[in-house]
Structure 1
Amino acid sequence: MRKTTFLIPILVIAAVIGLSSMFIVDERERALVLQFGRVVAVKEEPGLAFKIPLIQEVVRYDDRILSIDVQPLEVTPLDDRRLVVDAFSRYRITDVEQFRQAVGVGGIRTAEDRLDSILRAETREVLGSVSSKDILSSDRAALMLRIRNAAIAQARALGVEVIDVRLKATDLPTQNLEATFDRMRAEREREATDERARGNEAAQRVRAQADRTVVELVSDAKREAEIIRGEADAERNMIFAEAYGADPEFFEFYRSLTAYGRAIQGGNSSMVLSPDSDFFNYLKSPNGAGQ
């Protein structure tokens, strides 16, 4: 009975020690066995593993591809047009032992802080060597590749491999938005002014052409009218000439009557002439008086 009483606690302690000496490595992670803070074993294969209880401890790290959002930063391209860049990166822990030595007990949090500083520095340097048009164009994949390649060497010291770097957004700083909008508004107003000037110029050309057409039409009409009037006067004079040639005495008489009619009209008209003036030839003639 006494042996059984002492045996049960011993078995319990042995079971506890045995269980605490075993640990399982998941296929999605890697594990380090530490003894007094020093790495004594690296467990990279999934499955059951062992350690010395109470003396050794196990630290696990994710073996999958991880993501980090880079803090937004302001860059100044070659054309001095400042931009706020928002990016993210994919990375993976490739050397857990070196990773542990680099970041210590800080783990993933410390590693991402240091990786963020690396990515920010490389992003600022690469984007600062090109123009804003290159950054905003669809061909900026080459720029992201340059940032990744530059960050790989520095991240290797952390036991980390940078797999990819992507620019999520490139925007203007808040203080520059209003100035940019004003510049865009001024450009649109200038274009509108140019369009109105071209419209006014076209309208003036149309009006000038219309005025020229009116002048030409009026000139042609006046010229034709003068021609017709001249032809009519010529025809009239020809008729008069023929009439004068047919009976000169009658024609002379007709002209005298016409002159009388124009000179002696109603109203208070008065004429002062000599009685023997040629104007009264037909009035003094016997034939004229008799008529």
Structure 2
Amino acid sequence: MSPHASHAHDEHAAHGCAHDHDYDHDSADHDGPARPAWPRIFGAVLLVLLLAAVACFVQVRVGEATVITRFGNPTRVLVEPGLAWRWPQPFEVAVPVDLRLRNTSSGLHDVGTRDGLRIIVQAYIAWQVSPDPQDIQRFMRAVQNQPDEAARQIRTLVGSALETTTSGFELADLVNVDPGRVRIEAFEQRLQAHIADQLAQTYGIKVVQVGIERLTLPKVTLEATVDRMRAERETIATERTAEGKRKAAEIRSAAERDARILEADANVKAAQIQTQSQVEAAQIYGKAYASAPELYKLLRSLDTLGTIVTPDTRLVLRTDSAPFRALIDGPNPPASLTRQAGQGHD
């Protein structure tokens, strides 16, 4: 037998065996009961319906809103958290919109004050998409629901608003050593009023808060501020010096007036005392003269000499005239003593 004949015989045998195997398998299938196909069909339909039902529900999360679009056009806005119904894709698509609070910085801006000085200001803006359905759709149309693009638009708007707002304030209203003169709060309120309406009407954005994040002075402004503060301090010092001099003059004038009043009162009292003393002295002199006239004349002459003559005075006068006669003649004895002496001789 040739090799080719053996190979053909082997292939025929293998084919025969395979044929017998298939025949036996088919015989076994026909022997058992036939299974119905409707349970599998029902299960498949039920699964499809379940998947379709799941695809029709959309979940609205807390802090978000969901915009339902039909073929790209917004049809309704879902704001309340929970489950809502929509047609499955591609008929309707649910687009989430973030309503959470965001913070955007304006960056540093070189702006001018009302008094012509330059300052560097940086503001922050706390904002969020307004939960109103119309504002949500406005936000989607304006920035295609892109918060980063909204933040860029906010920075641009705040930059121009800072220039406008700062021009209404002087540097002393923003930077001052006196807390009572600082008007930062009024500045922030005016800045918020400048941007709030435009952001709401154009982008559907609600501005929650606006504040000054940083405020610095350039070198030129700092030098001008120092010079101005120095001039103000010098003016204040001059005013206070003048005020002190004025008060000192008032006090001095009042003291001099009081002194004059006291002096006048003292002079009046002294004159009264002097008058009283002169009256009393006259009475004493009168009594002395009545009792001893010669002694009175002697004492008056001595008083006169004590008044007009000092230790350095040199006088050349006659001694036989008053008041020097008393130095030569001496006092005359009283008449009573003369009579007593005459009676004694008798």
Normalising by the smaller structure, the TM-score range is: 0.5 to 0.7
Residue of 150, 167, 175 corresponding to 2:198? 150
Paired position in structure 2 for 1:84: 122
Paired position in structure 2 for 1:268: none
| Partners of 1:201 and 1:120 in 2: CA distance | 56
Q: Deviation per CA, 1:147-172, whole angstroms, max 9, x where unpaired?
A: 133235653xxxxx32x223342355
Paired position in structure 1 for 2:85: 47
The letter of the residue matching 1:148 is: A
8 Å contact from structure 1 (residues 87, 167) kept in 2? yes
| Partners of 1:231 and 1:97 in 2: CA distance | 112
Paired position in structure 2 for 1:94: 137
Cα distance, 1:115 vs. partner?
A: 0.9
Paired position in structure 1 for 2:159: 124
8 Å contact from structure 2 (residues 101, 128) kept in 1? yes
Paired position in structure 1 for 2:208: 166
Q: Check 1:151–1:98 CA distance in 2 against 1; reply closer, same or farther (3 A cut).
A: closer
Q: Check 1:221–1:275 CA distance in 2 against 1; reply closer, same or farther (3 A cut).
A: closer
8 Å contact from structure 2 (residues 285, 296) kept in 1? no
Residue of 245, 258, 261 corresponding to 1:216? 261
| Partners of 1:127 and 1:148 in 2: CA distance | 13
8 Å contact from structure 1 (residues 118, 154) kept in 2? no
Residue of 95, 117, 122 corresponding to 1:61? 95
Cα distance, 1:223 vs. partner?
A: 3.7
* SS of residue matched to 1:173: strand
8 Å contact from structure 2 (residues 288, 296) kept in 1? no
The letter of the residue matching 1:112 is: P
| Partners of 1:170 and 1:112 in 2: CA distance | 22
Q: Check 1:8–1:149 CA distance in 2 against 1; reply closer, same or farther (3 A cut).
A: same
Cα distance, 1:120 vs. partner?
A: 1.9
Tell which deviates more after alignment, 121-130 or 60-69.
60-69
Paired position in structure 2 for 1:267: none
* SS of residue matched to 1:84: strand
8 Å contact from structure 2 (residues 192, 209) kept in 1? yes
Q: Check 1:42–1:94 CA distance in 2 against 1; reply closer, same or farther (3 A cut).
A: closer
| Partners of 1:261 and 1:184 in 2: CA distance | 76
8 Å contact from structure 1 (residues 32, 59) kept in 2? yes
- Work out whether 1:113 is the aligned partner of 2:148: yes
Give structure 2 stretches of 5+ with no counterpart.
Answer: 1-28, 79-83, 130-134, 174-182, 306-315
The letter of the residue matching 2:123 is: V
Give structure 1 stretches of 5+ with no counterpart.
Answer: 34-38, 156-160, 264-271
Paired position in structure 1 for 2:13: none
The letter of the residue matching 2:95 is: Y
Q: Check 1:169–1:191 CA distance in 2 against 1; reply closer, same or farther (3 A cut).
A: farther
Cα distance, 1:94 vs. partner?
A: 0.9
Q: Check 1:232–1:219 CA distance in 2 against 1; reply closer, same or farther (3 A cut).
A: same
Alignment root-mean-square deviation, CA: 5.8
- Work out whether 1:251 is the aligned partner of 2:289: no
Cα distance, 1:12 vs. partner?
A: 9.5
| Partners of 1:192 and 1:252 in 2: CA distance | 77
8 Å contact from structure 2 (residues 69, 93) kept in 1? yes
The letter of the residue matching 1:149 is: D
Cα distance, 1:235 vs. partner?
A: 5.8
Q: Check 1:172–1:193 CA distance in 2 against 1; reply closer, same or farther (3 A cut).
A: farther
8 Å contact from structure 1 (residues 118, 151) kept in 2? no
| Partners of 1:30 and 1:284 in 2: CA distance | 145
- Count of paired positions: 250
* SS of residue matched to 2:160: helix
8 Å contact from structure 1 (residues 25, 31) kept in 2? no
- Higher RCO by CA contacts (8 Å cutoff, separation 6 or greater): 1
Q: Check 1:94–1:120 CA distance in 2 against 1; reply closer, same or farther (3 A cut).
A: same
| Partners of 1:275 and 1:85 in 2: CA distance | 112
Q: Deviation per CA, 1:245-266, whole angstroms, max 9, x where unpaired?
A: x69xx52454236757999xxx
| Partners of 1:98 and 1:112 in 2: CA distance | 12
- Work out whether 1:226 is the aligned partner of 2:226: no
Q: Check 1:174–1:58 CA distance in 2 against 1; reply closer, same or farther (3 A cut).
A: farther
8 Å contact from structure 1 (residues 82, 173) kept in 2? yes
- TM-score using structure 2 length: 0.48
- TM-score using structure 1 length: 0.54
Paired position in structure 2 for 1:266: none
Q: Deviation per CA, 1:31-69, whole angstroms, max 9, x where unpaired?
A: 568xxxxx6686758425334xxxx79964225644332
